[in-house]
Chains A and B, each alone.
Chain A
């Protein structure tokens, strides 16, 4: 079972470059989300989606865009990378929207912005 797959695993960018972090799940989950993990900050929600065509902002959405054209995929786009976006990014999915449904996490993308 693939579960939640994130690519790439590592990436180094220069300030101002753009890129897309890919996230795909094969569990037919409606709900998907993106988090960033920074030392001493836990995980902070960037954007989330409750189904294809529906997205919403989380706690730290500035500088990031998302779209959800299919149930399986939820890419995260950095339009103009900044050093403050250096972080580890995690994608997660769950069967239900909220409530008692556990989330399944990918292994993360480690992003460095120079």
Chain B
């Protein structure tokens, strides 16, 4: 079945550091790919999405590019802030309910 694998956390970075969170997927067909973010004590919020190969999703300084050849959707940000501390989930849907990765906890220290 469809699956998402993302890098294990936690990830701890200093403010203004570069962030990469790796995500790879296995799916039949042509899935849509998402990154969701969960701040402490809250539900998940959509961060960005891409619906076809080579699409780049972006929001709040975060970016991810849909790479069909490597089945990847890595999340990047050039300069993280303390307010970016959260859990990040990669997810996909291929005409199925959303399938999530296990999440990566990011802590940014001042």
A: residues with CB less than 8 A from B are: 4, 33, 35, 40-45, 48, 58, 90, 92, 97-100, 102-108
CB <8 Å contact, B102 and A100 = no
Nearest-neighbor residue (CB-CB) of B90 within chain A:
A42
CB <8 Å contact, A98 and B97 = yes
Known: A99-B32, A102-B34. A42 touches B98 (CB 8 A): no
Cβ distance A54 to chain B, nearest Cβ, rounded Å: 13
Q: Is B28 an interface residue (CB 8 A)?
A: no
**Can you name 27 A-B pairs with beta carbons within 8 Å?**
A4-B43, A41-B102, A42-B89, A42-B100, A42-B102, A43-B100, A45-B97, A45-B98, A45-B99, A48-B97, A58-B97, A92-B98, A98-B96, A98-B97, A100-B32, A100-B49, A100-B51, A100-B93, A102-B46, A103-B44, A103-B46, A103-B98, A104-B46, A105-B44, A106-B43, A107-B43, A108-B43
